[in-house]
Structure formats: structure tokens, C-alpha cells
């Protein structure tokens, strides 16, 4: 049984919009507190070594300083499973700007000044910061993020490549980049006896609750996490970072008073994760008619010595195109660097840049249209698992996008089109992202006498959950949306999984639909006041029989000045196959945001890591370049009519990440078409094109 459309598929006004416009939507630091204190972190000023001595005496003498937190008075943590979070338990330093303490004061200004007066001496040790392929300690992780196998191999890739009439063998690099949400990571912590309340900027209150409870030896019910509104995350708030632990430790010292600890923009670059830099070798072999015979994708990433994070960079390559011989691998370089983590479309974003650029290079080598090459190698089943796809709309996306973009008029010859001072080029790239549903989601439906209260610890990080989840509930209960009172963003509500991996709405919506159906079955359409049902969603057995993914196609037009090599992107077209679209207005915003981030990835973003000092030097929005309005031209977003009942009861797929996947490759491929210059290292700069 599937939900019949009523509210879904429409675009009601965002329910959170008026509160945000009027300043009544509280973000983490804005929840009213009585007599709050303020904390500021103390961070290590060496890359590797140990704290020999920490002297807080000068800071403690300052008026307004309430406490100085160090390894000597910090709460003892009971779980060291996550070394990123196991802070202030010893003096070990594994990267510059690692947390080693905090000052708690009556104002944020006093706390910041006092933190600078805490004197720390170190026993410094040599640091290892060299990221490259020539290291002798590269290792294979047991698995990569998401639980995927690190390496896969089918057939004999090397022999197939040696025998292939046409081959491509190139290395592509992507830099370290940072998430930079508009609301920095921030926490208010308050202890009441042995219970802890956290007002946090997080993508998953239940994840924070479980993690913090385990660290401090508490039962989950002793920790409450509140986050009704979050100012963006892009993955960086998907799992707890050490700043939350620091806030809880600081609050432990001050007799029940609330402690506010927001991170500065600069501190995000050390403490809140980032996308690892990658070095990727892609090898393709094909017959002259374009039939792929071999695909190999080898990935090198860096990881912190504190905590391993292996991004799943080659995963998308495993399911995109048919080839009898295939191999993918991931290797890690352990360095004294901050801990990397999730960033929008982890793995697929950098991995599909390399793979889709390589496929464009193969099309050029074959003299074949790049869309035709992709369609020619369209698989009938998942090449990795052999399972049928629940739905696979890639070919329709490519053909629809080509028509909307005007691809048929394209002359494939590089530098074949010039308008005044501008060389004009066009490029295409495909996109995919898993369409998953997370287990363990529960929802409650209660009749209050005039409305259905629907409660689940879901999150709205700017994506529209306040509106779209209400639409799902209205459809499931067969009522108008104004009869729904939605409650989200509080760990006291029924369990909701993290807003990440493009699984949020699919997972929460499945729970809401299950609870709504159970409520109707038990209480009918005229329930008694107070009637309620709480249900945990089950993952349908059909999903074990199918390979479930969303797909898309990106088209880019670029212009490059013949003298200055200035790059402009006046036009992008994106077409997606993402199941039923619940709310076209909010969906369009998600796709637009992803495509914009893809353009940013292609041309702007790079965290400049100075290996002399072990830190990012462009650690603010003045030095870390992202697009402004003038950099983004027309973006045409659309989607095909697709309903996939095998993924979830709504027939929908996640859309938060697929917009960025492949969009950078489309821009890079268009630059090659405009100039004849193939740039394989992101971001693409003016000096990559000058004089060439």
C-alpha cells in the first residue's frame, strides 16, 4: 500500500518561514537562559606532542572569570571509543588547535581574553603532515564510511586494460574543503544534579544524546538535546564533535548555571570536520564503439591519527556503468591533522568528479558524444551486486537535460565557439546517490481534540522539514495539513535518526506513515481526545531485493576570457530522478543549493593547509572563497516523473546531496570544451588556463 497524494506534491508556504523572518525561531545560542555563563576554548599551539604544564593562574585572577577547565579538573570520561571526543583526559596533542581546556566567565569577551592568558608549555614531538602517494605507511581501512567494503574487484582489470583498444589513465585531485554553515557549531549546556540539558546546533539530537551519555557514564534519559532550528550543517553537524563535550565539561564546574559555548568561524576549521583531500587514479578501457571493458578507481585520502575516517570516494563508480572488469580501492595516509568527517555527499562528491571527468576524457578519445557514451554503457542491473534497480532514471535525465539545455546544437570540437572575448564551452556529467532509509525511527500520533499532534525527533537544518514532514503526515491521516501539529528537534520525542546521507525525510516519513496508519487502524477517523499511538517503522523486505539509488544529469555552459582566462558559468541545467517529490518548492531549493556548491567546488573552494604550522590559514569567509550572487548564473532545475514504492511508503528518494554530485565535473568538462585545456586538479584557477 502506498500513500495517495493529497498534501504531497504541493508547495505550501514554509511553516517555519514567519518565525524565522520575525526572529522568533531560536537557534542554539538564542534559547533564553537565566544568568548564563560563557565559555571560550583553549587550544593547542603545537601540532604534535604533550602538554607539560598548564598554568591558569593569570586567567583566574581576572574579574569575571568563574572557572578554568583543564585536564586536571575535567570530568573523567568513561568511554574512549571515540578519541576525537575523549578530550582533557591526558596531555597528548595530535593536531594544532586541539582542545586542551576552556575558560568560563561572565561574558564572552572576558572568557576569550582570559583564555589567551592561560600559559601552556609543551614537550613537542615531530609532526607528520605530508600527504602524497609516495608514503610507505599507506594502509587499507577495514571498511569505508557507510559500512562499504574498502576494495572490490570483479574480473581482471589489468589484462582488460592492456587489451583495450582505447584507454584513459589519469590522476585527479580534490583539495581539503570545509562545510561552513551560516550558524557555527554552538552549545548551551546545563547540569541539574546528574541530568544534562544541551541546546545544540546538531543534525541529530538522538545521536548527540547517545554519544554524550556514553561518554559521561549516564543513561540516555539523563541527557536531553534540544534543536528545533539549525542554521545549516552540510554534514558537519551530523555527528558530535569535541566542542559539545567541552561545553558539558565546563558546565559541570559551575554549580548548575547554564554555559554558552559557540565556536568562532576560525575554530570550525579545526574542530568541526572537513572533506578530506583526495588523490584519485581512474583507468578506463573501451572498445572503439564505446563499450567499456574495464573500470578502475583507486583513491588516496588522509586521516587523523586521533580517529580514522575513511570517506567512501569510489563507491559511486561501482554502480554507474557496465563493464566486465572492475576494481575500486581506498588507501589512507595517517597524519597529525584535525579529524575529517562528513561533508555534503561524502565520497560521491569528489569520487564522481574524478569518474565523470575520466568518462568525458574517454568520450574525447573515442570521438563519441559523452551522452551517447553514458547511455551506451547503461547497466541492466547493479553491476556490483547484481540486484535489479528499484528504479533508474539516468537515461531519461540525460535525454531530458540534453533537450532542455540545447545539447543537439553542440559542436564537439574544443575552442569551436567564440563570442567576442569569450570562449564558450558546454559539458555534461551524470550523478547518483544512494536512496536509503535508516532503521530505528519512531513516531507518535496523538489526537488533541482539534489537531493531530505528530511527534518525532526529526531535524530541520534549513531543508524544510517543518513543512514537508507535515505534508506526509496529512496525506497519511487523510486530513488537511492545517490539522497537523508537528513536533520535532528534541531528544525527548520518539527516536529520529540523523538528518544526513539523504535519508532524513525518507526515514522520518516512513515512521510517520507507519504511526498514522496504526492510529487510524486503532482509533478510526473520530478518535477520542488523548488517543495516541507510537510506532517504530520497519524496513520493508523489498529493499533487500533491489539496488536503490537516485540519479541525475548536470549540464554546464562556461565562458572563458581569451586574454585573462576569467571563468564564468552563466548557465546550468540539472535533471533528477529522485522518486516522488514531496514539495516542489523546497525540493527545487535543495537542488539549487547542491548545484551551487558544485560550481563552488569546481572554481572556488580550497582550504589552504600550511604544513609548516599544521593548520588552515584561510580560516574565515574572507579567505575561504565561495560563490556570491554574481558568480551564479541561471540554474534550470527539473525532475522526471518517478515513483519508487520499493524505497519507502512515500515513493520518494533523498534529494539533499545529489545536486552537488557530478556538477563540478560538468563545469570542468565544459571548461575543456571551451579551451581545449584539461584541468584535473580542483579548484580550477585562472592560472591553470593562462597561456595554454
Please name the helix (run of DSSP H) or strand (run of DSSP E) that holds residue 67, with its range, or none: strand 65-69
Cβ proximity of 392 and 380 under 8 Å: no
d(CA 496, CA 459): 8
Query: Which residue has 560521491 as its cell numbers?
Result: 348
Do 58 and 40 form a contact (C-beta atoms < 8 A)? no
The residue assigned the cell 548564473 is 633
**498 half-sphere exposure, CB direction, 13 A CA radius:** 20
pLDDT tens digits, one per residue of 643-679 = 999 999 999 999 999 999 999 999 999 999 999 999 9
What is residue 157's three-state secondary structure?
A: helix
Q: How many residues does the chain have?
A: 692
Mean pLDDT, the chain, rounded, equals 96
DSSP state of 547: B
DSSP states along 479-532: S-GGGEEEE-SBTTSSP---S-TT-HHHHHHHHHHHHHHHHHHHHTTSPPTT-E
Within 10 A of 401 (CB to CB), how many other CB atoms are there? 25
* Residues in a beta bridge with 283: 169, 296
Task: Report pTM.
Answer: 0.96
Backbone angles phi, psi at 230, to 5 degrees: -135, 130
Q: What is the pLDDT, as a whole number, of residue 3?
A: 45
Q: Which cell numbers in the block locate residue 359?
A: 568518462
Terminal CA-CA length for the chain: 59
* Enzyme catalytic residues: 657
Instruction: Please answer whether residues 614 and 680 qualify as being in contact, where contact means their C-beta atoms are separated by less than 8 angstroms.
Output: no
β-bridge mates for residue 559, sequence order: 424, 568
pLDDT at position 624: 98
**Residue ranges of the chain with per-residue pLDDT less than 70:** 1-5, 540-543
Residue 160: how many CB atoms within 10 A of its CB? 23
CA atoms within 13 A on the CB side of 258: 16
Q: Output the nine-digit C-alpha cell for 160.
A: 582488460
What's the rounded Cα separation, in Å, for the pair 672 and 576?
A: 24
- In degrees and rounded to multiples of 5, residue 143 shows phi and psi of -155, 175
The three cell numbers of residue 209 are 544524546
CA distance 132 to 135: 6
Task: Give the strands of the sheet with 452-455, arranged side by side.
Answer: 484-487, 452-455, 442-447, 532-536
Cα-trace Rg, the chain: 26
Are 554 and 394 in contact by the 8 Å Cβ rule? The answer is no
C-alpha distances in angstroms, 680 versus 64, 170, 178, 215, 689? Answer: 54, 8, 20, 43, 12
Of 172, 145, 137, nearest to 279 (Cα)?
Answer: 172
On the question of a cis peptide bond just before residue 67, with omega within 30 degrees of 0, the verdict is no
How many angstroms separate the CA atoms of 347 and 667, rounded? Answer: 19
Determine how many CB atoms are found less than 10 A away from the CB of residue 406.
13
pLDDT at 542: 64
In degrees and rounded to multiples of 5, residue 566 shows phi and psi of -60, 135
Q: What is the spatial distance between Cα 292 and Cα 509, in angstroms, rounded to a whole number?
A: 39
**Collapsed DSSP state (helix, strand, coil) of residue 388:** coil
Separation between Cα atoms, residue 105 and residue 113, nearest integer Å: 10
Q: What angle do CA 174, 175, 177 make, to 5 degrees?
A: 120
Q: Residue 422 is inside which H or E element, if any?
A: strand 422-434
Per-residue b/e over 604-625, b at no fewer than 16 CB within 10 Å?
bbbbebeeeebbbebbeeeebe
Q: What angle do CA 62, 63, 69 make, to 5 degrees?
A: 55
Assign 46 to helix, strand or coil.
coil
Cell output for 191: 547540569
User: Smallest Cα–Cα separation from 29: which of 184, 205, 188, 230?
Assistant: 188
DSSP 8-state symbol, 76: P
The answer to whether 606 and 664 have CB atoms below 8 angstroms apart is no
CB 509 within 8 A of CB 650: yes
Neighbours of 134 (CB within 10 A): 6
173 contacts: CB under 8 Å, gap ≥ 6: 277, 278, 279, 280, 680, 681, 682
Amino acid at each position: 500500500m502506498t500513500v495517495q497524494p493529497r498534501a504531497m506534491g504541493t508547495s505550501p508556504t514554509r511553516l517555519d518561514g514567519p518565525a524565522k523572518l520575525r526572529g522568533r525561531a531560536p537557534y542554539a545560542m538564542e534559547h533564553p537562559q537565566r544568568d548564563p555563563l560563557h565559555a571560550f576554548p583553549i587550544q593547542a599551539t603545537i601540532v604534535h606532542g604533550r602538554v607539560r604544564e598548564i598554568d591558569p593562574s593569570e586567567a583566574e585572577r581576572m574579574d569575571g572569570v568563574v572557572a578554568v577547565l583543564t585536564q586536571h579538573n575535567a570530568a573523567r570520561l568513561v568511554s574512549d571509543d571515540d578519541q576525537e571526543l575523549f578530550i582533557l583526559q591526558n596531555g597528548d596533542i595530535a593536531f594544532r588547535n586541539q582542545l586542551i581546556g576552556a575558560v568560563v566567565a561572565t561574558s564572552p569577551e572576558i572568557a576569550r581574553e582570559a583564555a589567551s592568558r592561560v600559559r601552556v608549555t609543551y614537550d613537542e614531538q615531530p609532526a607528520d603532515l605530508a600527504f602524497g602517494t609516495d608514503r610507505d605507511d599507506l594502509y587499507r581501512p577495514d571498511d569505508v564510511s557507510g559500512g562499504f567494503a574498502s576494495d572490490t574487484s570483479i574480473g581482471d582489470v589489468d589484462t582488460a586494460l592492456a587489451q583495450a583498444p582505447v584507454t584513459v589513465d589519469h590522476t585527479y585531485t580534490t583539495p581539503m574543503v570545509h562545510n561552513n554553515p551560516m550558524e557555527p557549531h554552538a552549545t548551551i549546556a546545563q547540569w541539574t544534579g546528574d541530568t544534562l540539558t544541551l541546546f545544540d546546533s546538531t543534525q541529530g539530537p538522538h545521536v548527540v544524546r547517545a554519544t554524550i551519555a556514553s561518554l559521561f557514564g549516564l543513561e540516555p534519559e539523563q541527557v536531553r538535546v534540544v534543536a528545533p532550528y539549525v542554521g545549516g550543517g552540510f554534514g558537519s553537524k551530523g555527528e558530535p564533535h569535541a566542542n559539545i563535550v567541552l561545553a558539558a565539561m565546563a558546565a559541570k564546574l559551575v554549580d548548575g548555571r547554564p554555559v554558552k559555548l559557540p565556536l568562532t568561524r576560525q575554530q570550525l576549521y579545526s574542530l568541526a570536520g572537513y572533506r578530506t583531500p583526495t588523490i584519485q587514479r581512474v583507468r578506463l578501457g573501451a572498445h572503439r564503439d564505446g563499450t567499456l571493458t574495464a573500470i578502475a578507481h583507486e583513491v588516496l585520502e588522509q586521516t587523523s591519527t586521533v580517529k580514522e575516517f575513511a570517506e567512501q570516494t569510489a563507491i559511486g563508480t561501482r554502480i554507474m556503468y557496465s563493464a566486465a572488469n572492475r576494481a575500486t580501492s581506498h588507501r589512507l595516509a595517517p597524519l597529525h591533522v584535525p579529524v575529517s568527517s562528513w561533508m555534503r555527499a561524502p565520497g560521491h562528491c569528489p569520487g564522481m568528479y574524478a569518474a565523470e571527468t575520466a568518462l568525458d576524457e574517454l568520450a574525447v578519445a573515442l570521438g563519441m558524444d559523452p551522452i551517447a557514451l553514458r547511455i551506451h554503457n547503461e547497466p541492466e542491473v547493479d553491476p556490483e551486486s547484481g540486484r535489479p534497480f528499484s528504479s533508474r532514471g539516468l537515461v531519461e535525465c540525460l535525454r531530458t537535460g540534453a533537450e532542455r539545455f540545447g545539447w543537439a546544437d553542440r559542436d564537439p570540437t574544443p575552442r569551436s565557439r567564440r563570442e567576442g572575448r569569450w570562449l564558450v564551452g558546454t559539458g555534461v556529467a551524470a550523478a547518483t546517490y544512494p536512496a536509503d532509509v535508516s532503521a530505528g525511527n519512531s513516531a507518535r500520533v496523538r489526537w488533541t481534540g482539534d489537531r493531530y499532534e505528530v511527534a518525532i525527533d526529526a531535524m530541520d537544518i534549513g531543508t524544510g522539514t517543518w513543512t514537508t514532514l507535515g505534508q506526509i503526515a496529512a496525506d497519511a491521516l487523510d486530513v488537511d495539513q492545517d490539522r497537523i501539529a508537528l513536533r520535532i528537534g528534541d531528544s525527548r520525542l520518539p527516536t529520529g535518526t540523523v538528518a544526513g546521507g539523504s535519508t532524513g525525510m525518507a526515514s522520518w516519513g516512513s515512521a510517520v506513515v507507519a504511526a498514522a496508519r496504526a492510529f487510524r487502524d486503532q482509533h478510526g477517523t473520530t478518535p477520542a481526545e488523548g488517543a495516541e499511538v507510537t510506532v517504530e517503522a520497519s524496513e520493508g523486505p523489498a529493499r533487500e531485493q533491489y539496488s536503490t539509488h537516485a540519479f541525475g544529469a548536470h549540464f554546464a555552459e562556461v565562458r572563458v576570457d581569451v586574454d585573462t582566462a576569467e571563468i564564468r558559468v552563466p548557465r546550468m541545467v540539472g535533471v533528477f530522478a529522485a522518486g516522488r517529490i514531496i514539495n516542489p518548492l523546497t525540493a527545487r531549493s535543495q537542488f539549487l543549493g547542491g548545484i551551487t556548491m558544485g560550481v563552488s567546488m569546481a572554481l572556488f573552494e580550497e582550504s589552504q593547509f600550511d604544513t609548516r604550522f599544521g593548520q588552515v590559514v584561510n580560516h574565515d569567509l574572507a579567505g575561504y572563497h565561495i560563490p556570491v550572487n554574481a558568480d551564479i548564473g541561471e540554474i534550470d532545475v527539473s525532475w522526471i516523473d518517478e515513483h519508487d514504492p520499493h524505497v519507502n511508503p512515500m515513493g520518494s528518494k533523498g534529494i539533499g546531496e545529489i545536486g552537488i554530485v557530478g556538477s563540478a565535473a560538468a563545469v570542468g568538462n565544459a571548461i575543456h570544451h571551451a579551451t581545449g585545456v584539461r584541468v584535473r586538479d580542483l579548484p580550477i584557477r585562472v592560472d591553470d588556463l593562462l597561456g595554454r
